[in-house]
A = this chain, B = another copy of it.
């Protein structure tokens, strides 16, 4: 009956090379006709940090690598490409054979980074490296904005557990899954998104909705029904009618549940003045002997709210965070690019107004001070190696060589530990939520000289 197939039908988004822009295919055929197939070097970087940000956190490398290891055109996609009449048959036949066999170097997921620092480098024949631009940006950009937003929230809510409630307002189902992964990487305790547990082994959390209370004729009865059916998930939603009155009902119910062997775990507040309600509810629960019951708060919370709640010492233990996290609401996109930096052994530079980039293959060296805090980064050419010391190390690491993994990628738990370490290394001025960002990044003399050379020779 339906006029159009569902969004993903016929296309496997985890491997589909068709998930790209038309101009990539146009350029590929042009490269093939001109016999241009020398090695190209592309780097992904962020041109400018969003106004509100002092740092970003790299994420999405796992999805990029999973994609590159399996990327291909399906037979259905190839048939469709032929049917469009846009491309030569010999060219579509070449596409059928596409397997990524280039090199990738990248910052590990969880690494803090700044403007103009490449976080991923692809080295491959130019058409091979060009086709994958769109999907590489798509993965790195989204997971990075979510991990970066989540990192800000972690800094704003020390000692609290943060849980992702965002699937419904994420920009698609795939976005919800990637967001669940990216925020867990950045330190969140878990997610409400069920398939994220199946796919990524992320802890899942769930309470109840207002509809459950509303469907019952009696709020206390709704709590009791729920507790008896879900004895390990006893978090009661208090704000359907009157928050404090509902807390009183929990006080009355808890002893009866306890007789049945059911512990009351928590209550959730989802509207109104969360600090005031949390204080009132905490008092009510403490007075009836439910001091161990945790308070969960949700409802349009962002990192500014978290900071205010921390300043007010609100007695909230767990925060459910949705929309602001999964849409990165203050900065829903980054000014980022995947730029050609070298072709056929010669550095290249784009000079478009306001979009100039640093040419050539680059490395970023990070130096920590004696206290283990980031002192500064140096962006330089790959052939200008810095002496690695205990406190200075290169951030871009080999990931793929000739299309094959150099070593297994870190597990998600390992990347999460890396992210936690990186947040500890942030200088205090970058940990603040509003800052006049002074990224501690230097451009090396070698890189300035290369840029000048490239400009002089017209590229």
Residues from chain B with a CB closer than 8 A to the CB of A328 are 332
**A214 within 8 Å of B (CB atoms):** yes
Inside 8 A of A14's CB, which chain B residues have their CB? Answer: 5-9
Instruction: Tell me whether A446 is interfacial, beta carbon within 8 Å.
Output: no
Say if the beta carbon of A303 comes within 8 Å of chain B.
no
CB distance from A353 to the nearest CB of B (A): 4
Of A112-120, A131-139, A436-444, the one contacting chain B is A131-139
Task: Output the nearest chain B residue to A34 by Cβ-Cβ distance.
Answer: B225
Is A154 part of the binding interface, using a Cβ–Cβ cutoff of 8 Å?
A: no
Interface centre among A19, A70, A212, A270 (most CB of B within 10 A): A212
> For A18, what are the chain B residues with a Cβ–Cβ distance below 8 Å?
194-195, 198
- Please tell me if A11 contacts chain B, counting CB pairs below 8 Å: yes
Q: How far is the CA of A24 from the CA of B209 in the complex (A)?
A: 8
**Nearest-CB residue, chain B, relative to A238:** B352
CB pair A353–B34 under 8 Å, yes or no, is no
How many residues of chain A are within 8 Å of chain B by beta carbon? 136
Q: Are A5 and B240 in contact (CB under 8 A)?
A: no
Whole-angstrom CA separation of A412 from B343 in the bound complex:
43
The CA of A332 and the CA of B329, in the complex, are separated in Å by 6
CB distance from A35 to the nearest CB of B (A): 10
Does A23 contact B207, Cβ atoms closer than 8 Å? Answer: yes
Interface residues of A in 49-82 (CB under 8 A from B): 62-63, 65-67, 69-70, 77, 80
Stoichiometry, as copies per complex, reads: 2
Binary CB contact string for chain A from 404 to 417 against chain B (1 if under 8 A, 0 otherwise): 01001111100000
Query: Is A45 an interface residue, CB under 8 A from the partner?
Result: no
Q: Is the CB of B8 within 8 A of A239?
A: no
A62: contacting residue among B3, B10, B204, CB under 8 A: B3
Indicate which residue in B1, B27, B329 contacts A409 across the interface (CB closer than 8 Å). Answer: B1
Q: Does chain B have a CB within 8 A of A229?
A: yes
With both beta carbons as reference points, the residue of chain B lying nearest to A336 in the complex is identified as: B169
Q: What residues of B have a CB within 8 angstroms of the CB of A396 in the complex?
A: none
A123 to chain B, nearest CB (A): 14
Which residue of B has the minimal Cβ distance to A146? B171
Q: Does A258 contact B (CB under 8 A)?
A: no
Complex Cα spacing A34 to B22, Å: 54
Q: Taking beta carbons and an 8 Å cutoff, which residues of A are in contact with B?
A: 1-16, 18-27, 29-34, 36, 40, 42, 62-63, 65-67, 69-70, 77, 80, 84, 86, 126, 130, 133-135, 137-138, 141-142, 165, 167-179, 181, 192-195, 197-201, 204-212, 214-217, 225-226, 228-230, 232-233, 239-241, 270-272, 300, 323, 326-329, 332-336, 339-340, 343-344, 348-355, 405, 408-412, 458-459
